[in-house]
Structure 1
Amino acid sequence: MNIGFIVSNNKTIFFYQVAKKLESYGYKTWWLSPNKYWAKWLQDHGVPKERILDITDFGQEWESKYKLGLNERDSHDLHELEKDYTLNINNLILMDRLLSRKEYEYALSYLLVCNKYIEKFLLENNIQVVFYEATWAIELLTVMICNKIGIIACSPHTVRIPDGRFAFFDGYLQSEIIHIRNPDDKDRVQAKKYYKEFLNKKPKPKYWYLNNKTPSLKFSWFIKLYKHIILSLKGQNKFDETYFGIKWLIKNRIREVKNAWLLKVKNPFEQPNLDEPYILFTLHKQPEASVDVLGSYYSNQIETIKLISRITPVTHKVYVKEHSNAIGDRSISYYNEIKRIPGVKLIHPSLDSHDLIRNADLVITISGTVAYEASLYGVPAVTLSSMFYKDILTVNQAEIQKLNITDIIENKGQRLKIGDNIINFLAYIYANSFEGIISDPVSDPSCISEENISKTVKGFRSLLDKLTY
């Protein structure tokens, strides 16, 4: 079987180790790279050049097309991708944290050229399955191309709960886990055991601890800056539409440290009163695929909080809790704007989210794990995006304007969605997920250990075997 991987910065190192192991089992692997640096890295590590599509090789083509102007046929080519899919090109551009900052015609030119060469690459090499991280426009576009020409596109990603497991998600969202098998008695035993541990220990996923660091000046930043300068001098970031640039990196680091310092000086957060009735909404770290891609229609989080405030009864407060991994990302003025929204209290990120969840009358999130946790506690929970744990939610992919919060709060029966329903769901997760960490060696060095690669490859092989028959 021929399979493809989309290069994703440092995660490429992890994907490469997985691909190398899969090749030892007879699979053939190809690579799609949005930048020259990682294409060269793959070649330096033994991947034949003909197995790599470096899309920046065609940068002059999309730049010329942009300068000369687009025609009606160009728009038609991209519209062909939209016809039978749930994602439009304009939305795709807005989802991308970098391409959305470029001129619209330039973004379209880039996508047109990517569409042309990616489809050709997939068809000529008879690639049957593509793996990726659904973050950048080029990844989302590839998913749309795969849909058009009948190739399976799936994203390996953590299932969040239970920790240390991952599943394969169909398409660019995390709404559907690709089905591997039905749960058996062993899965139900594991589900019951884990559920008991969850209620007693209130565990956080490992990735939460790895990312839970307050920004401060680090020596590693200077090393990273030096690497980026060398990268620019060698021209390896030319036409890379996943690269922000040196100026942005410097400004962003300064902004993070400044914001983190101001938060200590001008603490905008309030203490919760767990005895008063409230609805809990948790902010997402941003930019992040969990909100910009999975929850694109609600990616303006301040406006989303305003919508929640509009439909919340006056009997309840809206507690907005900052994400502990996002300290430094947002300015004081951002928090002050949230605090001006009627009925809203801004809650400190360090407070125990499990206590806030269990005392809430309702939990609302765009796509966050907090709704998953709330459902396990039997607390009514709503997601604004369609999520894979939809079966245990009160409302999945809610339209805020149509959400009747009063009915949900007053329907105490919603808190009875525990027991067999939870166990059945967790058993399904165990049956259709695998042990292993999907990450990159910068965020989590253990992801490229021999033990973890063996575990994750076992999951990849289970999926590929399933797809073969």
Structure 2
Amino acid sequence: MKLMFVEVRSKTKLFESLAHELSDLKPELVLSWLIMNPFYRPKRGALYELGFPKIETIENLKFDRLDEKVISSDRFSIHFNREPWYYPYYRKMIEQAIAQEKPDFIIGELGTFYAHYACLIAKQLSIPFYDIESARFPNGCISIFEYDRWNPVKLQDVSDSQVWDYLKYYETNRPVPDYMGKNTKKISRLKKALLKKLDTLKVLLGYLSGESFNTQNPLENFVEKKKVISQLRLWDKCRVDLDGLRKINKKVLLYPLQMQPEFNLEVWGAPNNKQLAIIEKLARALPSDWVLLLKANPKPYFEMNRLEISNLYSRGNVYFLDRAVPMADISEMCDLVATVTGTIQIERLLAGKSVYIIGDTPFRDFSVIKSNIDSLSETDISGVSEYQSDNNVSFKVAKYLLEHAMPGEVSEPVSDPKCLRAANVSRLAHALLRVLGDKGSNDTI
């Protein structure tokens, strides 16, 4: 068995531990790596370093449809208006590496454009590509996704009683996904700060050595972060609290902003991965007795800089929720929630509430509105008032979540070194071997 990993900065350390565990379990395993940043080279396996091109050396390379797809989902293109001259070079390099190595499987994370290339090229060649991520629900679990969609592999069977038990637990405790919860892991602030600084140094050294294709210019990054602060100040000037919302006395369509850059929106959500366009389309389709309420992400980032807050505010039917208001408080006041790939769709469905799912997700069939965002109309939104909750939907969603998750933890070791513990790495390895042995068994709800 030949297994290729795609380097993804500090998470490569977890991949390397996983590769070692897999090699112990399967001595015949042959490892290889696609490497962008040379300062994250692993110690075992063949290395295919992608290099750093110069524009004058690749003028004859032509763009194809894979380039266009990657560009439309890459954070540099979406957020930083990067000139796309280098994309065909990396496509060619990755095509050559895969052709030479001939892996049976590829493991990567779609947060990087070169991993997205590896995924799309693998799909063309019918080579399974998997992305191991933390499951949104249930807590303390991982899911394994195939190719570049929100398309998790089924990992286990569950009984009806297990599903009902989970629904009861969810209703009683209303857990939040691990990535949103407070970090209660026992790691000293000093150790965490040191790990972060060492990782930042590796990123900076990579940038100085030529890796400016997946790493933003530090000065540009600083400027972008300053813009976020300015945008948040403007948001706060336009904000409406719950009392103000009640005085408006109209039905509420809530759109919670998803953090960006983040591949679950940029890649999984494509082509609906530009949130300003989504917001404008929702606002245009609103009936006169509705308002669109925007909720900032709890961890606001560069998505704020893509908003035209003043223009949206001047529409008269778009409001900006006070950032101090938690989701639990506003959720009960909403007549409808819209999202592309946000976790809110799962939370609403588990709670038996209406949600408009814009993205191509496993739960799209349960969207209360079936129209896509480009054909959304006033009639679609007005009809939501007739929605009736369905326990059968909650059951199906919960069962799907449980079947497509297994205990484990996936994280960047600089944030959570405990993900490297032997017991966790062993769980990840056995879950992955189950998938590799089945060649990936996907199903739908």
What TM-score bracket applies, with the shorter chain setting the length? 0.7 to 0.9
User: For the structure 1 residues 2 and 289, does the alpha-carbon distance in structure 2 shift closer, same or farther, using more than 3 Å as the test?
Assistant: same
Contact 2:131 2:147 in 1 (8 A): yes
1:244-286 CA distance string (max 9 Å, x none): 13323443455556666x479x543211336742111111112
Shift of the 313–263 alpha-carbon distance from structure 1 to 2, 3 Å rule, reads closer
The aligned residue for residue 82 of structure 2 is 102
The CA RMSD over aligned residues, in Å, is: 3.3
2:19 corresponds in structure 1 to 19
In structure 1, the residue matched to 2:38 is: 36
How many Å apart are 1:375 and its aligned residue?
1.5
| Pairwise CA distance, 1:404 | 4.0
Whole-angstrom distance in 1 between the partners of 2:307 and 2:146: 38
TM-superposed deviation, 1:233: 6.3
Please, which moves more after superposition, 423-432 or 305-314? 423-432
Give the one of 368, 377, 391 matched to 2:351.
Answer: 377
Q: CA deviation at 1:439?
A: 1.5
Q: 1:227 to 1:200 in 2, by over 3 A?
A: closer
AA partner of residue 76 (structure 2): L
1:3 pairs with 2:31: no
Distance 1:436 1:154 in 2: 16
Write the distance in 2 (CA, Å) between the matches of 1:333 and 1:219: 37
Which one of the candidate residues 424, 432, 440 is aligned to 1:452? 424
Partner of 2:387: 414
Distance 1:270 1:180, change over 3 A: same
Q: 2:395 aligns with which of 420, 423, 433?
A: 423
Which of residues 134, 141, 154 is equivalent to 1:165? Answer: 141
* Separation of aligned partners in 2, 1:344 and 1:448: 45
User: 1:176-187 to 2 correspondence within 5 Å?
Assistant: 176-180=151-155, 183-185=157-159
> When the two structures are aligned, how many residues end up with a matched partner?
428
Equivalent in the alignment of 1:251? 223
2:105 paired with 1:129:
yes
Aligned to 1:205: 177
Q: CA offset at residue 441 of structure 1?
A: 1.7
- Measured against aligned partners, the alpha-carbon deviations of 1:353-405 in whole angstroms (never above 9, x if no partner) come to 13323332211112101122112222221222101233433347x52232245
Q: Cα distance, 1:194 vs. partner?
A: 1.8
1:268 and 2:238 are equivalent in the alignment: yes
Equivalence for 2:271: 297
Distance 2:324 2:162 in 1: 31
Q: SS state of the match for residue 48, structure 2? A: strand
- 1:148 aligned residue: 124
Instruction: Indicate conservation of the 8 Å contact 1:360/1:379, yes or no.
Output: no
Partner in structure 1 of residue 405 of structure 2 = 433
> Residue in 2 aligned with 1:113?
93
2:192 and 2:414 in contact (8 A); partners too:
no
- State how far apart, in whole Å, the 1-side matches of 2:234 and 2:10 are: 31
- SS for the counterpart of 2:325 is coil
**8 A Cα contact 2:139 2:177, kept in partner:** yes
CA 1:271–1:453 in 2, change beyond 3 Å: closer, same or farther?
same
- Whether the aligned pair in 2 keeps the contact of 1:306 and 1:341 (CA below 8 Å) is no
Residue 214 of structure 1: aligned partner: none
> For residues 376 and 205 of structure 2, what CA distance do their matches in structure 1 show?
53
Alignment gaps of 5+ in structure 1: 83-87, 212-217
CA distance in 1, matches of 2:230, 2:355: 35
Distance in 2 separating the partners of 1:223 and 1:35? 18
Deviates more, 1:366-375 or 1:266-275: 266-275
The equivalent residue for 1:65 is: 57
Aligned partners of 1:401 and 1:233: how far apart in 2? 44
**Counterpart among 315, 329, 333 of residue 341 in structure 1:** 315
Instruction: Give the C-alpha shift of residue 339 in structure 1.
Output: 2.0
Shift, 1:238, TM fit: 1.5
Is the 8 Å Cα contact of residues 3 and 104 (structure 2) preserved in structure 1?
A: yes
Q: Cα distance 1:114–1:277, how it changes in 2: closer, same or farther (>3 A)?
A: same
Alpha-carbon distance change, 109 to 99 in structure 1, aligned in 2, over 3 angstroms:
farther
Partner secondary structure for residue 271 of structure 2: helix
- CA, structure 1 residues 401+6, in 2 after alignment: closer, same or farther (shift >3 Å)? same
Unaligned runs of at least 5 residues, structure 2:
184-189
Q: CA deviation at 1:210?
A: 4.9
State the AA in 2 paired with 1:169: F
Q: Deviation at 1:94?
A: 3.0
The structure showing larger relative contact order (alpha-carbon pairs under 8 Å, at least 6 residues apart) is: 2
What is the distance in 2 between the residues matched to 1:200 and 1:423?
15
Question: 1:23 is paired with a residue of what secondary structure?
Answer: helix
Matched position secondary structure for 1:319:
strand
SS of 1:208's partner is coil
Query: Displacement of 1:12 after TM fit?
Result: 0.9
- Give the Cα separation in 2 of the matches to 1:94 and 1:225: 32
SS at match of 1:346: strand
Shift of residue 344, structure 1, vs aligned partner: 1.1
Pick which of 308-317 and 376-385 moved more: 376-385
Whole-angstrom CA distance in 2 between matches of 1:171 and 1:443 = 26
Mapped contact 2:241–2:321 kept (Cα < 8 A): yes
Q: Deviations over 1:105-139 (max 9, x none)?
A: 33333433343x3333442xxx1111111122211
Residue number among 177, 189, 193 corresponding to 2:161 in the alignment: 189
Looking at secondary structure, tell me which structure has more helix per residue: 1
What is the distance in 1 between the residues matched to 2:291 and 2:251?
A: 7
Change (3 A) 1:337 1:454: farther
Change (3 A) 1:236 1:16: farther
User: Does the 8 Å contact 1:374/1:381 carry over to 2?
Assistant: yes
The equivalent residue for 1:215 is: none
1:400 pairs, out of 353, 370, 373, with 373
- Displacement over 4 Å in runs of 4+: 218-236, 252-260, 331-334
Secondary structure (helix, strand or coil) at the match of 2:34 reads strand
User: 1:317 is matched by which residue type in structure 2?
Assistant: V
Q: Report the residue type matching 2:5 in the other structure.
A: F
